[in-house]
Amino acid sequence: MKNHPLSKRIGLFLGPLLFLIIQFSTISIILEKADTVIGVALWMVIWWITEAVSISVTALLPLLLFPLFKIMPIADVGANYGSPIVFLFFGGFVLALALEKVNLHKRIALSIIKLTGTSPNKVTLGFMIATAFMSMWISNTASTVVMLPIAMSVITLLINDDDGFTKADKNFSLSVMLGIAFAANAGGIATVIGTPPNSVLIGLLENEYNTEVSFAKWMSFGLPFSIILISIVYLVLVKLLFPCKGLVFGASLSVISNELKKLGKLTPKERHVLIIFAIIVSLWIFRSLINSLLPELKLSDTMISIFGAIALFTIPNNLKKGDFILQWKDTQKLAWGILILFGGGLALAKGMSASGIVDMVSANISNANIGILITASLLIVLMLFVTELMSNVALTAVLAPVVAGIAIGLDIPILHLLIPVTIASSCAFMLPMATPPNAIVFASGFIKVHQMARAGIILNLISVALLIVLFQYIMPLLF
């Protein structure tokens, strides 16, 4: 058996040790309750960074430690793990599960690639658009896993052609592979359910600040930002870093056509899922309009999400045979750990608020004469570059409550600061370990770390600039 990494072994003991030192030290950092929450936060951050245990197991710590050390009663802590936002994401996961089960996500992806054309740059663009679109609705990991074998089939054609694997071929393969990973990261920004940090933020806003950002409202800035970022990624990859001038091939179209032929005609099950998917997305987008016309409904995004989930389990595809799209056993593949992670993040945020940490941060910031734009820029840079090294969900869970406190201290609307900082957690392009899509395409063997880092540092810096523009000019117009 392979040895457990030293970093994980150190982290396993360092987390609880720091907590005990803070908890039982005679020197108080802030106040007794606040010190306990800081100790719990440090314990969680160390376990999250080192991955000493599963990040979802780490998220259970508040459920034990907050009641034990009288921060909050267990019923109040537990309520965070059953927050409406957790169920919003649960419904999103079930929808993704259905799309994957009937292979509809693959059909959608292949159809998009086929539409974009067969020149090398257009093929790259097709892969990126298809991946980004899927990442809006299913996990960025799943969308990358679907696209990778298709991309590798196209690249294999280039390796085996008459002129061998030329520099132009290598540049094309780098553009496609990095394009898939980066589009998966950026695509999730577009919707509330596209990537977990978005939902962590929405949960924090509803739980702590009684502020709602609807699915449609998020898309009003998330989708344009995602499109702009993906366009820049495409231009940086194919025009600046990895141009493949002179490369001509038509075989890619045959690969895509063959893959579509393997799927055959649209099946009744695919049609069934497509209809439910279209209804749910339409309800999310037009919820405010529906509520204004039928105010007694009081539809929420979570209710719509759960309606979709129940429909997939209960509307029969063939009643006589008892054939439904999803059976409960299908949920074995569902990312339950992420749902617990949401709960842990919301519980930690509640603890920070209840113990006075957020108020203290607010007071200190309001007393310090730091420029609003400089503060916002530093927080965006911090979030973006630290997320290269640790889970973006975990990082958002820790930083979002603090950022909210900073916004209050600066006397600006919390949404103006929280949204750009949260989006920054999805803009990690530099390192293979930063996001699952980065790791998946790196494992293909077509990319070296220095190549990813070279493209990533440029895109990270561009992302910082875009997020500062979003903070300074777009957020005040929307909220």
- The per-residue pLDDT of the chain, averaged, comes to 88
Q: For residue range 335-389, list pLDDT tens digits in order.
A: 888 889 888 888 988 888 888 887 887 777 777 777 899 999 999 999 998 888 7
Contact of 366 with 410, CB cutoff 8 Å: yes
Residue 182 confidence (pLDDT): 96
The radius of gyration of the chain from alpha carbons, rounded to an integer in Å, stands at 23
Residue 164 has a pLDDT of 61
pLDDT digits (tens, 9 = 90+) for 231-285: 999 999 999 999 887 666 655 667 777 888 888 888 999 999 999 989 998 999 8
What is the pLDDT, as a whole number, of residue 150? 84
Regions of the chain where pLDDT drops below 70: 1-2, 28-30, 158-165, 246-253
- What percent of the chain clears pLDDT 70, i.e. is strictly above it? 95
